[in-house]
Amino acid sequence: MKKSILYKNMNVYLDLAVEAHDLLRGERGAEVSGVIMDKEQLEDIVVTTITITNQQGEKELGRPKGHYITIDAPAIKDNDFHDHKKVIEVMSKHLSKLFQFKEDSSILIVGLGNWQATPDALGPKVVEKIMVTRHLFYYTPEEMKGKMRKVSAISPGVLGLTGIETAEVIRGLVEHVKPDYVIAIDALAAGALERIGTTIQLADTGINPGSGIGNYRKGLNQETLGCKVIAIGVPTVVNAAVIAHKTIEEFFGQMESEPVLAKIYNEENQQVFLNVMNKALSPFKDSLMVTPKEVDDLIDRSSRIIASALNLSIHPGISADNYETYLQ
């Protein structure tokens, strides 16, 4: 069964541009028009950059033009400071490619998500660890000059907690704070189990909060906010339909030596398998999201890595040797 057909029928959205690109290119057996992919291997870290260059690329991948940088690092799941430091340095380097900071640039960091739901608490957890400095420039401007940039941070909550659309809250803040950049951090939905808690995506195209779980809110981007928006995300959940499909694939893969079973698993029977999955996932159908039981540890480690990389890339006075000192 083609994954694209499954995802369309089960309303599965791929937050990671690299997954959407791999799926499209794999099924077509050809490069995707308007999309450029670059891959870099750094020891145990793989960095993949997907660049959408034109309207055709936008249409093919279903997301706006820009750069989508994916950092795959299985070490994120492990509690190893030295491995995490490598990830932080790689992430900081690639974040710097998305920024064009001036000495007096101001940055608003937004932690999207629900702090009461662990898989959705990545954004608020990052904000807790960010070094905020905007207020210090009013008290000791000379001491801060050349060493720090103006950083403010907020976790606006979600519509269900506040009754206010996240985009409305952020637009109001941007009007008053007038940042040069908005950096939005959010939890994502993966298309593969192995990416949960091991992948970080950076994008210079903004973000649509909740898109991975089917909640299509107003986007946070340069058009809606009037300033550059950088999005950072880590997959923390996967749609149950993806797991069900993977199970069917693995089962029939083990039965390749059985001609009868191999014959059953073909395109002509796709609707049968879709009906089976729909029934198995009922009554949740396409709204059942799955997360590992150790998600609290994954969120804590991911948030420390992201906060450290942001502190390191934003402030000139923070180096790879002392960034840990500035974590809140």
Q: In whole angstroms, what is the distance from residue 279 CA to residue 324 CA?
A: 49
Q: How confident is the model at residue 260 (pLDDT cuts 50, 70, 90)?
A: low
Give the SS3 label for residue 72. strand
For the chain, the average pLDDT equals 86
Per-residue pLDDT tens over the stretch 229-256: 999 999 999 988 888 888 877 777 776 6
CA atoms of 306 and 207, how far apart (whole Å): 17
Q: Taking residues 213-240, report their average pLDDT.
A: 84
Q: How far from the centroid of its chain's Cα atoms is residue 326's Cα?
A: 24
Cβ neighbours, 10 Å, residue 58: 17
For residue 43, which of 17, 82, 5, 14 has the smallest C-alpha distance?
A: 82
CA distances from 138 to 141, 147, 204, 328 (A): 6, 15, 30, 20
Distances from the Cα of 215 to the Cα of 30, 208, 209, angstroms: 32, 9, 7
Closest to 206 (Cα-Cα) out of 187, 190, 227, 189: 227
Span 265-318, pLDDT tens digits: 665 566 777 777 777 777 776 678 899 999 999 999 999 999 999 999 998 888
pLDDT score for 212: 45
How are the residues of the chain apportioned to helix, strand and coil, as percentages rounded to the nearest 5?
A: 50, 20, 30
Q: What CATH number has the domain spanning 12-243+284-326?
A: 3.40.50.1450
Three-state DSSP class for residue 57? helix
Q: Report the SS3 class of residue 206.
A: coil
Nearest-angstrom CA–CA distance, 89 and 182: 21
pLDDT at 213 over 60: no
Report pLDDT digits (tens) over 146-176: 788 999 999 988 877 788 888 888 999 999 9
d(CA 218, CA 15): 16
Query: Tokens 């799955």 correspond to what residue?
Result: 290
Q: Which of 165, 167, 155 is nearest to 207 (CA)?
A: 167
What H or E segment, with its residue span, contains residue 281? helix 270-281
Residue 265: what pLDDT? Answer: 61
Distance (Å, rounded) from C-alpha 159 to C-alpha 105? 30
Paired with 49 in beta bridges are 38, 69
Integer Cα distance of 37 and 321 in angstroms? 32
Query: Could you tell me what percent of the chain has a pLDDT over 90?
Result: 48
Per-residue model confidence (pLDDT) at position 39: 94
Reported as a pLDDT band with limits 50, 70 and 90, residue 93 is very high
Retrieve residue 88's tokens: 């932080």
